Structure 1
Amino acid sequence: MRRRLRHRSAAPLLALGLVLGAAGTAAAHVEVESPTAQALAVDAEVAFSAEGESSTAGITDVKVVLPAGLTPADLTLAKAPAGWTLAPTADGFTVAGPALAPGTAADWTVRVRQLPDAGSLVFKTLVDYSDGHTDRWIELPQGDTKPQHPAPVLALAPAAPGAIALPTSDVTLFAYTSSPPASPSASPSPFASAPAVAAGGGEDGGSTTAVVLGSVAGVAVLAALVVLVLRRRRSAS
């Protein structure tokens, strides 16, 4: 009888534990990973996955805040759901497109010009749904307390021996979207061809001066010939 009572009392506890465990693992979140997660890695691919937690609304866009050492110009969109594009923001970027099916995760990958020289990178993320709801994955651990909505963090291995940071540039080296949009006004590219010398100066100005001097000399020679012909006619008469 005691054994039967023990089995009967243990069954509800086991079922409750399974339910609680399933609820914990089913919580939606955003993950980030990279096969080249190393400080100062060049041309590194970083993959994100935002789980769809709604059963009635789909994800329409995801906003990401870039960590120190990265700018939108360092990124290009390598992979995303059909019709989704990447656009820069003041503090990071947004990937957006047609609403995904309810419960479907938003998976996208960006290619980074060079990862910063850091031990880890925090990507605070907002996930927007078609019904107007927003999931905020922006919290960081405080001591031993685990946040309920943790921001995705990418741990980086130490930089390879001899690795150096690439020189910064004001030029947009990487496309913001899979289909480039109209880009905002930007400073002239240092890689562009050197502009021609302005008219009236430099080589063009020298050429113009030479033409003028040549014309004057031609007129002078012609006048001298006319004078010579007139003198000969006078002496002959």
Structure 2
Amino acid sequence: MRTSAVFRLAAASAVAAATVLAAATTASAHVIVDPSSVPKNTTDQTFAFRVPNEDDNNSTVKVEIDFPTDHPVPSALVAPVPGWTDKITTTKLATPIHTDDGDVTDVVSQIVWTGGQIAPGHYQDFTVEFGALPEGTDKVVFKALQTYSDGNVVRWIEEPQAGQPEPKNPAPVLTLTAATADDGDSPSGAPSAGAGAGAGAKPAPAASNGTAATAATTATPTASGSDSTARGLGIAGIVVGVLGTVAGVLLGRRGRGGDAGTSA
């Protein structure tokens, strides 16, 4: 009886650990913007919209990023991505944005990438350089649509709320922190040729493909993805440890019971 109970407990431990690990992996596999947080006076900064493929059988064939219009990005340049074609849509502002380089009346409202593929188990970075950041807000919320080769469209448009669980399909969010004391420029690497719209920005470097197996060496993991995975692994470790301790106690009791029977 006790042996059977120990086996059942061990099986439950394995299932619990696998469930927690699976949840941690799922939580980190969504479209994000990287870096996810910068000072408000950051200029000429390259951001990557990282798109992982969550489907085991289909490739991602289209990516759409919608820019906010209530707090528009004053200027943006799009880096070419090998194998992909980008289409940039701009919108005219009712009230121009005043910058050191002059008034900005047209801003990027949408970028769509087509023609390439993100295979299962892979991700792709789509890089855009912002010449400046929106004013009057602490965050920039983008909306992303991911289309798979079977026609399925995943809409990453749900805005995370402070103090609430992460939504199923969270939108990429760029957090704007307090302005720094320096001139606001942040290093964005050596510029390369790009295409886009906006004033005063420099072309951003092209992104490269990566796989889940090499992500740790080819790109710096984002804070949100790393934290979710770390929490999941920590919880899994606690679950396994507690259940393992209980199993050890039961085995110890069974051993002592066997010894007592032999002595009698």
TM-score normalised by structure 1 residue count: 0.60
Q: Deviations over 1:81-105 (max 9, x none)?
A: x222332236322223322323321
Q: 1:163 to 1:116 in 2, by over 3 A?
A: farther
Deviations 1:144-192 (A, max 9, x none): 243111112122221124869xxxxxx84369999xxxxxxxxxxxxxx
Match of 1:147 in 2: 167
SS in 2 for 1:76: strand
* Partner amino acid, structure 2, of 1:110: V
1:124 corresponds to 2:129:
no
C-alpha contact 2:80 2:86 (8 A) present in aligned 1: no
Correspondences of 1:166-185 after superposition (within 5 Å): 172-173=198-199
Secondary structure at the residue paired with 1:149?
A: coil
* CA shift for structure 1 position 35: 8.2
Give me the whole-angstrom Cα distance separating, in 2, the residues matched to 1:41 and 1:113.
9
Higher strand fraction (1 or 2): 2
* Counterpart in the other structure of 2:53: 52
Residue pair 1:48, 1:108 contacting (<8 A) in 2 also:
yes
Secondary structure in structure 2 of the residue aligned to 1:19: helix
TM-score (norm 2): 0.55
Match of 1:30 in 2: 31
Corresponding position: 1:87 with 2:87: yes
Alpha-carbon distance change, 105 to 126 in structure 1, aligned in 2, over 3 angstroms:
same
Match of 1:69 in 2: 71
What count of residue pairs does the alignment treat as equivalent?
Answer: 169
Deviating beyond 4 angstroms after TM superposition, the runs of 4 or more aligned structure 1 residues are 174-178
Q: Which has the higher contact order (CA 8 A, sep 6+)?
A: 2
Separation in 1 of the partners of 2:204 and 2:180? 30
**Runs of 5+ consecutive residues of structure 2 not aligned to the other structure:** 92-108, 185-196, 206-264
Q: Matches of 1:29 and 1:35 in 2, distance apart?
A: 13
Change (3 A) 1:111 1:176: closer
The structure-2 alpha-carbon separation of the partners of 1:150 and 1:132, relative to structure 1 and needing over 3 Å to count, comes to same
